[in-house]
Structure 1
Amino acid sequence: MDAIVGQIIFLDLHCRLGAWWLTHVWRAQQLAESSSSALHIWQIITAAACSRSLLEGAAAFSAETDAMMAEWDELKQMGVPTSDSISRFAAPLEKRISRGQFGTRLAESVDVKPPLQSTNVMTYVNKLAKQRPNENIKEIYEWLCDAVHPSFGGMTVFVANQGAHFSETHNLVRIAKNPLADKSYEPAYRADCGQRDCRCDHRRRR
């Protein structure tokens, strides 16, 4: 009887794990392809947003699979599974799969806890960074976030060039929708400019 129960439970878990794995793969494929396509046409902010989501998904997948493998190893070490050991193994795994597939943080802004709350993405990112201390995971993630947000990273995407007058009284920032394709670019002045009667269009420091 235990064998039949185990087969039924494991078959269901196997199918759900397969679906969870496939959705992660399909999501990663979409994000990677979109990021690559965006970079080819200098859509840097779009590429950063896709890359950030790709990193978050990889971090989540890594953390959840590590936990699942540890739970599976623990079950195998118990020997021949019984209906009791199978139930103890299946219950948390089923919850983990459900949270990974259907968990959300919607409605948190109105202080309503969702029925199935997803894990905070920073928990996953921090775990991945701790596992790979030499790969600058946190720094890369922070730069991607800064590029996506209306802040330094996102705004400097449109900077074609910048410089300062030798007198250190003037700054110029030249912006373009696609800085690399800005054929009309010509520095109005450079840091080594010695023209005191410079007539460049510039902004004076306040």
Structure 2
Amino acid sequence: MSERIYSDYLNEYCKDSSIFLVKESEGRVKNFLNLDQEIPDQYRWRFSDLNSIVKQVRSENTRQGLNKIYWTDQSRNIEAYIIMTWWRGNELVRSCLNGLNRREVIVPAIAARSLLELSTVFLLNANTLEKNFKKIMFPPETIVISTDIENLVAKMIWGTRYQPKDELLTQTNIMTALKKLAKSPGTKDLMPTYDFLCDIAHPSFIGNTSYWSHIEVINPDGSERRLMSRLTDRQYNTEITDKTLWALAWSSTCIYNAFIIMRDAYSGLLKKI
């Protein structure tokens, strides 16, 4: 993708920014969109429930064959998860990008906040699976399973905080995930940016300021006539745009990296069997 994806206004806004990720944001989003061209619009997930697994196991009489059934099933579920997560990320990236190009404020900021949540969980899951898959070995005549990985994969796909059917499927609180990732090198801006964008998503102060333009008149008694505007050329607080662009660039990179990490992890595991 060689064409520009930022509007003239947004390109001008970013080119001289003192914030590295804002200045480099277009390139990072383009990198994400380039990979998206390789992702299918439809995907056929071969899913096996417990009864199906039992049937498959009955037709296999070697330990290596049993390992292959088990880990192939886990890998199919992981692949389905990364496709679903990529699609979600792609919708959010494009929504955020389109809004920014139209000089919108609130909707791109909310999309950017969601991107931070999605990319954080995706990257943490990718790192966990990669770390564990590298450790798994298949000694001769040994059946190898992992309930920890089973539970993680189940939570990745079916985890929820809305009336979970099982305690194991209670999704981890997003703040727990964000604070965990924020301990990694190079992530010092993650939590401040997320907290800032949350205030925009909520009926709070920062979201209100996006409509404040400027002071037109200071009256003799010291009161001010402040212009508020919903027009796209208003002089809103540029910090909102900076934080939105930072989150867009950071999340696009994290989702891209997590997709590659997780795909390579389960592919590498299956080659060991």
Q: Deviations over 1:36-69 (max 9, x none)?
A: 1111223311111111111111100111111112
Who is 1:162 aligned against? 215
Who is 1:144 aligned against? 197
Aligned residue runs from structure 1 range 1-206, under 5 A: 1-76=62-137, 79=139, 82-83=142-143, 86-87=144-145, 89=146, 91-107=147-163, 114-115=165-166, 116-162=169-215, 165=218, 169-178=222-231, 180=233
Residue correspondences, number: 172
Q: Deviations over 1:13-49 (max 9, x none)?
A: 1111100111111111000000011112233111111
- Specify the structure having the higher radius of gyration (Cα): 1
Alpha carbons 2:159, 2:170 under 8 Å: kept = yes
| Aligned alpha-carbon RMSD (Å) | 2.4
SS of match in other structure, 1:174: strand
Does 159-168 or 14-23 show the bigger shift?
159-168
**Residues 159 and 179 (structure 1), Cα distance of their counterparts in 2 relative to 1, 3 Å cut:** farther
TM superposition shift of 1:178: 2.1
User: With CA pairs under 8 Å and 6+ residues apart, which has the higher RCO, 1 or 2?
Assistant: 2
**Residues 168 and 67 (structure 1), Cα distance of their counterparts in 2 relative to 1, 3 Å cut:** farther
What 5-or-longer segments of structure 1 have no aligned partner? 108-112, 183-206
What 5-or-longer segments of structure 2 have no aligned partner? 1-61, 236-273
TM superposition shift of 1:72: 1.3
Identity within the alignment, %: 23
Structure 1: distance between partners of 2:153 and 2:222: 60
TM superposition shift of 1:105: 0.7
TM superposition shift of 1:181: 5.2
TM superposition shift of 1:121: 0.8
Who is 1:110 aligned against? none
Structure 2: distance between partners of 1:81 and 1:140: 51
SS of match in other structure, 2:103: coil
Structure 1: distance between partners of 2:214 and 2:165: 47
SS of match in other structure, 1:131: coil
Structure 1 runs of 4+ aligned residues shifted over 6 Å read none
